[in-house]
């Protein structure tokens, strides 16, 4: 599982000109799921996301996590994070999980993030054509891959 975490002051996702999810301060998380991901990946990645200390403390140092700043999460599924660009100019998405595997894992990730953050998670819609808007704060953008834990 790959997550791109962007610290934002605001973010939203629009589908068919209707805002589906939006947050103020917190994380916009783009989530890529592969066919080998498991519940263990979900639990590990959720803890990393919710415990990530990238918000400024009283001295301006990145030392606070999501809970400390009462931040929120907007979670967007994004299969293109598993694109392979090794050959040619057209990416291959063979490592991205098929919907029958990815959708249940995405739904489990939502529940796990809600449990770990203690808040409802705003989301997009799996497989939809989404328009994502954000105001990246910093900018701070971090990639975490659950397969690279060591």
Q: Cis ω on the peptide bond leading into residue 6 (within 30° of 0)? A: no
pLDDT in tens, 41-85: 999 999 999 999 999 999 999 999 999 999 999 999 999 999 999
- Residue 102 in any domain: the answer is yes
β strands within 41-86, DSSP E: 55-56, 62-64, 72-77
48, part of any domain: yes
Flag whether 66 is in a domain. Answer: yes
In a domain, 89, yes or no: yes
- What is the per-residue pLDDT for 33? 97
Instruction: Say if CB 149 and CB 82 are below 8 A apart.
Output: no
Annotated catalytic residues are 80
* Element spanning 61, H or E: none
- The closest of 136, 119, 11, 140 to 74, measured between CA atoms, is 11
Q: What pLDDT is stored for residue 5 in this prediction? A: 98
pLDDT for res 149: 82
Structural domain contains residue 25: yes
CATH number of the domain to which 88 belongs:
3.50.80.10
Kindly tell me if the per-residue pLDDT of 150 is higher than 80. no
* Number of domains the chain is built from: 1
The model's pLDDT over 2-37, given as tens digits with 9 standing for 90+, comes to: 999 999 999 999 999 999 999 999 999 999 999 999
In a domain, 128, yes or no: yes
Report the pLDDT averaged over residues 82-100: 92
Domain that holds residue 61: 2-144
């Amino acid at each position: 599982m790959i997550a791109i975490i962007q610290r934002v002051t605001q973010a939203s996702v629009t589908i068919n000109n209707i805002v589906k999810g939006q947050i103020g301060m917190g994380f916009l998380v783009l989530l890529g799921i592969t066919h080998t991901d498991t519940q263990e990946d979900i639990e590990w990645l959720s803890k990393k996301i919710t415990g990530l200390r990238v918000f400024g403390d009283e001295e301006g140092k990145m030392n606070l996590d999501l809970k400390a700043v009462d931040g929120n999460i907007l979670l967007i599924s994004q299969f293109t994070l598993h694109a392979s660009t090794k050959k040619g100019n057209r990416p291959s998405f063979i490592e991205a999980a098929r919907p029958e595997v990815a959708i249940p894992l995405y739904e489990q990730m939502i529940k796990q993030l809600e449990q770990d953050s203690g808040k409802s998670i705003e989301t997009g819609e799996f497989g939809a054509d989404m328009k994502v808007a954000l105001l990246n704060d910093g900018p701070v953008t971090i990639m975490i891959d659950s397969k690279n834990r060591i």
